[in-house]
Amino acid sequence: MGELTIIYQDEHYIAVDKPAGMLVHRTRISEDTRFVLQQLRDQIGQRVYPVHRLDRPTSGVLVFGLDSDAARRLVGLFEQRLVTKRYLAVVRGYTDEAARIDYPLQEEAGRPHQDAVTEYRRLATVELPYGVGRYATARYSLLEVRPETGRMHQIRKHMKHIFHPIVGDTTHGDGKHNQLFRDELGVYRLLLMATDLAFDHPYTGKPLTLRALPDGEMCQLFERLGWNSEGLN
C-alpha cells in the first residue's frame, strides 16, 4: 500500500488526504487491516491523536494532533463550531440552487435526536442518457456542502431527507443510481469528499485552511460529466 498524502504538518498538527474506503482507526466490528491512524503513525514515526472523523467511504481532509494537548485544543474548536467544513458531493436529481437543511438526527436507535444543520450550494448539473426506473434519463447535481454540525452520517442523511441522496451511498442512497454509476461510469465509491477545513490555529491564532483537491478518479469523473473546473477551488 502507498503512503498517505500529507497535506499539512507543523509542530502541533498533521493533516492527510484520507482515501475513500479507509477507516480512520481500528474497530472491533471491522476486519480491515489498514487504518489511517495506525498507518500515519508508522509513516511519520510518532503517535498521532484523532481530532474528528470521516466515514469510511468519505475521502478528503483529516487532521490529527501530534500530542494530546494539541488534539484537545482543536477538538474544542470543533465542539464550539469554530471550524468551517466544506465538502463536494454528487447527488441524484436537480437540487435547488441553494438551501439550508435544519433537520434533527438520531445517531443511534434509542438515543435522543440532536440538532443538525447543513447548507449547500449547487455548482453544476448533468443529464445522462440512461434510463432509471420510469425516467428516460438520469439527472445529477454537483454540490458544495457546508455542515454546521457534525452528526454521524449527517450529510448523507440530510441529502436522503430532501430526496437527493449522494451517489454511491449504499446505506442512505438509491441503489438504482448507484448501479448506473458502476455499470456506465465504472464508479464504485461514495461521491462525497471533504475538501476544506478552516479554523484559527489554536496556538498561533492565525487563520489556517487545510485543503484536499479531488483525486484522479474524481477528476476523471468530473471531466466525463462536463464539470471540468466547477467547485474544485
* Residues taking part in catalysis: 55
Residue whose C-alpha is closest to residue 32's, from 51, 49, 57:
57
Pairing of strands 192-200, 59-65: parallel
Rounded to whole angstroms, how far apart are CA atoms 177 and 174?
Answer: 6
Residue matched to cell numbers 484537545: 72
Rounded to whole angstroms, how far apart are CA atoms 79 and 60?
Answer: 20
Rounded to whole angstroms, how far apart are CA atoms 231 and 223?
Answer: 12
Rounded to whole angstroms, how far apart are CA atoms 185 and 3?
Answer: 27
Pairing of strands 13-18, 84-92: unpaired
Q: SS3 of 177, please?
A: helix
Burial annotation 38-75 (CB, 10 A radius, 16+ → b, else e): ebbeeebeeebbebbebbebbbbbbbbbbeeebbebbb
